[in-house]
Amino acid sequence: MDQNEKKESAAKKALELIGNSLNEESVLGIGTGSTTNLFIEKLLELEIKIKGVVCSSLASEDQFIGSSYDILSLNEVYGIDFYVDGADEFNDRLELIKGGGAALTREKILAHSSNNFFCIVDDSKKVEKLGKFPLPIEVIEIARSAISREILKMGGKPVFRQGIITDNGHQIIDVHNLNIEIPYDLEGFLNNIPGVVENGIFAKRKADKIILSTNDGIEILE
């Protein structure tokens, strides 16, 4: 299978796993990215009766306009029953790097608010140690250079993602060559730098299940 076929396979399996648990009161959280888009396509085909969807980005919301699914705000619901999203990297401990699509802050909020976080990926995302993919950090504009200097002190190489404004109105720094020895600790440390809105390490709220698509089929990691 090529990469797109693997992504489609993971998306299909995720819908199979959660389908029987959904009812008219269920709230489904939807992430952002190419693999999640395939999940959305399959969800739209089925028209499952649920309370509605909460999306991590305006781009994902746009795909539900005109469909049978109600688009909800997180403020309108008590919580999210299932949150489905992709990842840029994952390790054996189900810790992730996310944010390639610049939606990391809202993604982390929805993941934290969910009872079940299912991550759908193909095997190209598997790493022994997080950090091969540049770590995205959402920052307030006025603090971008100051935060970059702090990152340089840590040995990372910060690169301003030109031309990108997040749905929250902020900017993105992509950090290369950062040593992510203990993801849980680094996630908290980075978020304590003044001006950092959120970073793309998902270790405090990691995935509950990773639905991994390979040439040999689907693996469920948990």
Nearest alpha carbon to residue 79 among 120, 40, 32, 112? 112
**CATH class held by domain 135-200:** alpha beta
15-50 residue pLDDT tens: 999 988 999 999 999 999 999 999 999 999 998 999
| Strand-pair category, 135-139 with 89-90 | unpaired
Dig out the tokens for 41 from the structure: 């396509």
State CA 209 to chain mean position distance: 13
pTM of the model: 0.95
Q: Which residue has the higher pLDDT, 1 or 186?
A: 186
| Angle of helix 3-19 versus helix 34-46 axis, rounded to 10 | 50
Q: Is the CATH number 3.40.50.1360 carried by domain 3-127+204-221?
A: yes
Q: Give me 72's structure tokens.
A: 């909800």
Where are the chain's structural domains? 3-127+204-221, 135-200
Catalytic residues: 107
Domains 3-127+204-221 and 135-200 share a fold: no
**Cα(165)–Cα(180) distance, integer angstroms:** 26
- Encode pLDDT of 124-166 as tens digits: 999 999 999 999 999 999 999 999 999 999 999 999 999 999 9
For the cut 80, the answer to whether the pLDDT of residue 193 exceeds it is: yes
| Cα separation, 178 vs 74, whole angstroms | 33
